[in-house]
Chain A
Amino acid sequence: METDGNSLTFIALFLPFVAAALAPALTRRMGHKAAWVLAIVPAFLFIHFASLVGTVASGEAVTGSRNWVPSLGVEFSWFLDGLSLTFALLITGIGTFIVLYSGGYLKGHAHLGRFFSFILMFMGAMQGLVISDSFLMFFVFWELTSITSFLLIGFDHSREASRRSAMQALIVTGMGGLALLAGLLVIWNATGATSLSALLETDNALRESALYGLAFVLILGGAFTKSAQFPFHFWLPNAMEAPTPVSAYLHSATMVKAGVYLLMRLNPVMGDTALWETVLPLFGGVTLLVGGFLAVRQSDLKLMLAYTTVASLGLLVMLTGFGSEHAIEAAVLYLIAHSLFKGALFMVAGIIDHEAGSRDVTRLGGLRKAMPITFGAALVAAISMGGLPPLFGFLAKEEIYYALGFASVWSALFTLVAILGNALMFAIGFAVALKPFLGPEVKTPNHAHEGPPLLWLGPVVLAGASLLAALVSPLTHRLFSIPMASAVAGEPLDIYISLIPSIGMPLLLSLVTVALGYAIYRTLGDVRARVGAALIAIGWGPDRGFDQVLRGIVRGAHRLTGLIQNGRMETYMTLTFAVIALAFLVPLVGAGEMPAFPQLPVLTLYEIVVLALAVIGLGAVLYADDRLTAIVSLGIQGFAVALIFLLFGAPDLGFTQFMVETLSVVILALVMTRLKLAKSDHRPTREKALDVTVASLCGLGLMLALFKVTSLTFDPALSVFFTEYSRVIAHGRNIVNVILVDYRGVDTMGEIAVVMAAGLAILALVRVRLGRRVEHAEPQVASESRETVA
């Protein structure tokens, strides 16, 4: 572990964000050619990560950290093992070509600079996600990918469909993010680990913890929403509203694999339980089939690919949860293969759309002459997707069938699911790669011709990588697949699979898959119509469900607000005071800590007089005929209390009480005159009785609490401290004031901010009423404060 590499990784974490900040200015100067400059950043990151491959392949992890919030023990730390490194290489490698492709695809777009900025930000977030070590960092980057994905899907924000899809993706993945946060907290609680690397060393702690079930559900909530597992898959096809580079990058090659990454990362500490090995394959299998069938239904190139991405993610989750070593190896191989071929195919779909002007597979054909390079790349990628030799996809599929087999009913079931899913993807892959290019030439909206290198470079390189990786498979395995699979399994694994097919069950199953896939491909139009009819018969799907849930939430919130915020002052006051009464009484009664009635002290004459004053004030409030008298009487009671404060040695308190009472009487009186209420209270007895009850309970509660407090022995520690130090270290003899402005100055600062905010709010409310009244123009003159301004 070299320190040099560490600090470079630290820089690498921020570099994409720096590039994102510079992108708009650069694009303004250079136009779409800025892509060539901006692509240097991911290319550089790719080279940096590639330089670590040797270290990681030898079984070591590259780690490093910086202090972040030392007082809270939060570190900014990263952790690169086989799993994260392979992901980082995919993200930066594909990212390089995506940046170039974006330059070609959105050439001349008014907001190209903004687009570059968003996509680089996303790259930084995604890269951070896979190499973070501390939970907090991981979560922050996780959410950042959701947010940048929102920005990218909604890039074309003038269209309503874009906005809806962006919101939907954000809500679904954002909810999942919250579940993930809760899950990480639960894991932290169960194991004490605050970072992934520490967690991986805890061995069985999480599995044996009582919190395992809870952690499992929450983590799955995060992973399944992000990786579009059924029934949360609907946001991913909708995300195709984004420009094609985004679909190729976020919604096939990288971001949607974050959930799979999370599951793979946690497999060593959470896997190998009955729960894990049941739930994951089931959800994954269902997602695989749902995605496959829905893909067949589509005729839009991007949507066909999007649903096969859903299917592929299902396959990955299924394999990750299946539990055998071969299944993990298969998942790893398929993940790499999928990122390469799906990224390439998406870019091909984008090129076709860009050059021919349509993405509808039924309206395209015969483009092979006009776009030979694109056709070549598409064909190679589709062969990989179909799992045919000599591409990397073939290795992945062979390994899948090795892993599943027919050992038990359970695995046989998933073998069948995998065959059907793979056959569907085979058909779609070739439909995307062949149908637009073969057959008679069809008249397309644009006169089709080959795109510029910026466009075809990406698919060609990715398709080439699929081929190369398979040709030198022993090297690929040694450098990438084996370290990654070992990290996922938590123990060293070995992968031997190569292009030379061994005669046996897997090969046979591959042949069945291909035959079935070919059959579906030939009858695609027919199958499409049938699946379409079936879906119309079902009618209702999670996408509509999402809308209904949202509407339900809005309606529920509206109703709830109407209930608790009905705009009637009386309701608010009654509720507030009822809660105060309960807050006093419930703990006292509930804990059985009712105070004994204290012995009454012997009062001196002047004390009795003051108390009598307070009682007279209160009595006057109750019996006053009009409101103004009641308010003033309340002031009498307040003054009596102030006198008590003075008598018992709290001059500050007494002083303040005098002022507060005076001002509240003045302000209350002013409010009364403004509100133009009836002079006296004419409510029915029933309503008054409720108020009396609440008020009495409040008084009773406060009294009991005071009895309780005064019956305890007084702890003079604070008084002694302040008396002793107030003068010495705070230069003041008035302890109350010293506490207010010095010891607890920050509190006071908060309080005066509240005073000011409350003042502003009251002012606004008074003005609102004033405005309304002026409109109605009812000149009413309150006699006692008639103005005399000339």
Chain B
Amino acid sequence: MKTLILRTIAPYLSALMMIFSVFVLLRGHNDPGGGFIGGLLAASAFAIYGIASGVASARRAMRFHPMAIAGSGLAMSVLAGLASILFGVPFMTGLWAPPIPGIEFELSSVLFFDIGVYLVVLGAITSVALALEERDDE
């Protein structure tokens, strides 16, 4: 994009959105938010970054191919569901770590499942968006 303003502000904006998306993901279990919406936020962050600074820089910033990120997210969700087998309970039963005193946050297999959702949404949508942003002469 040619506008200097967007190109200048986009990296900061995207970074802010990424942080916010993780925040939304993690608070999801108790307050509005969650993996899906977090993933959408993160995908928009990359979309904006791609529009402003170019698809190549966006891809560099992601380090991995977005589809690989989506794939690992799906794998993570399935594994989080399978973890219950180790404890002899049915597939996808939520497993919760004992609470640590003084910390409100609870670690659980459900959280990993949600992170998987986040990664799938992030990866799938970003890869589509970036592919569309890519010009023919690249």
With the chains together, A144 CA to B18 CA distance in Å? 55
B92 interface residue, CB < 8 Å from A? yes
Q: From residue B89, how far is it (CB to closest CB) to chain A in Å?
A: 13
A749 interface residue, CB < 8 Å from B? yes
* Cβ contact of B1, chosen from A662, A732, A745, A784, cutoff 8 A: A784
Asked if B34 and A779 sit within 8 Å, CB to CB, the answer is no
* Cβ contact of B128, chosen from A736, A737, A748, A762, cutoff 8 A: A762
Please name all residues of chain A whose beta carbon is closer than 8 Å to the beta carbon of B110 when the two chains form the complex: 730-732, 741-742, 745
Asked if A789 and B56 sit within 8 Å, CB to CB, the answer is yes
Q: From residue B34, how far is it (CB to closest CB) to chain A in Å?
A: 4
Which residues of A (748-789) have their CB < 8 Å from a CB of B?
Answer: 748-749, 752-753, 755-756, 758-760, 762-763, 766-767, 770, 773-774, 779-782, 784-789
Q: A731, A766, A767, A781 — which one has the most chain B CB atoms within 10 A of its CB? A: A731
Asked if B2 and A759 sit within 8 Å, CB to CB, the answer is no
Q: From residue B136, how far is it (CB to closest CB) to chain A in Å?
A: 5
With the chains together, A726 CA to B134 CA distance in Å? 44
A738 interface residue, CB < 8 Å from B? yes
Question: A745-B81, A789-B57, A789-B138 are contacts. A732–B129 as well, Cβ < 8 Å?
Answer: no
* Cβ contact of B33, chosen from A655, A770, A785, cutoff 8 A: A655
Q: A753, A755, A773 — which one has the most chain B CB atoms within 10 A of its CB? A: A755
Q: From residue B18, how far is it (CB to closest CB) to chain A in Å?
A: 14
Asked if B135 and A787 sit within 8 Å, CB to CB, the answer is yes
* Cβ contact of A652, chosen from B32, B94, B120, B123, cutoff 8 A: B32
Asked if A732 and B30 sit within 8 Å, CB to CB, the answer is yes
**Cβ contacts B29-47/A at 8 Å (1 or 0 each):** 1111111110011011001
Please name all residues of chain B whose beta carbon is closer than 8 Å to the beta carbon of A655 when the two chains form the complex: 32-33, 37
Please name all residues of chain A whose beta carbon is closer than 8 Å to the beta carbon of B91 when the two chains form the complex: 746
With the chains together, A749 CA to B110 CA distance in Å? 12
Interface segment among A298-306, A361-369, A383-391, A665-673: the answer is A665-673
* Cβ contact of B78, chosen from A737, A740, A749, cutoff 8 A: A749
Asked if B29 and A733 sit within 8 Å, CB to CB, the answer is yes
Question: A656-B36, A662-B44, A756-B123 are contacts. A746–B129 as well, Cβ < 8 Å?
Answer: no
* Cβ contact of A670, chosen from B2, B121, B132, cutoff 8 A: B132
Please name all residues of chain A whose beta carbon is closer than 8 Å to the beta carbon of B83 when the two chains form the complex: none
**Cβ contacts A337-360/B at 8 Å (1 or 0 each):** 000000000000000000000000
Asked if B138 and A787 sit within 8 Å, CB to CB, the answer is yes
* Cβ contact of B40, chosen from A656, A731, A752, A766, cutoff 8 A: A656
**In the complex, residue of chain A having the shortest beta-carbon distance to the beta carbon of B57:** A789
Asked if A748 and B117 sit within 8 Å, CB to CB, the answer is yes
A529 interface residue, CB < 8 Å from B? no
B77 interface residue, CB < 8 Å from A? yes
**In the complex, residue of chain A having the shortest beta-carbon distance to the beta carbon of B108:** A731
Asked if B34 and A763 sit within 8 Å, CB to CB, the answer is no
Q: A732, A741, A766 — which one has the most chain B CB atoms within 10 A of its CB? A: A741
Please name all residues of chain A whose beta carbon is closer than 8 Å to the beta carbon of B136 when the two chains form the complex: 770, 773-774, 779-780
Asked if B37 and A652 sit within 8 Å, CB to CB, the answer is yes
B22 interface residue, CB < 8 Å from A? no
Please name all residues of chain A whose beta carbon is closer than 8 Å to the beta carbon of B70 when the two chains form the complex: 755-756, 759
**In the complex, residue of chain A having the shortest beta-carbon distance to the beta carbon of B134:** A770
12 pairs from A and B in contact (CB 8 Å cutoff):
A652-B34, A731-B108, A732-B110, A733-B31, A737-B114, A741-B110, A755-B70, A756-B67, A756-B70, A759-B128, A763-B67, A784-B1
Interface residues of B (CB under 8 A from A): 1-2, 7, 28-37, 40-41, 43-44, 47, 51, 53-57, 67, 70-71, 73-74, 77-78, 81, 91-92, 94, 96, 106, 108, 110, 113-114, 116-117, 120-121, 123-125, 127-129, 131-138
Contacts A740-B35, A748-B117 known; 18 new A-B pairs at CB < 8 A: A652-B32, A659-B37, A659-B40, A667-B132, A737-B28, A752-B77, A755-B70, A756-B73, A759-B67, A759-B70, A770-B134, A773-B136, A780-B136, A785-B51, A786-B1, A786-B2, A788-B54, A789-B56
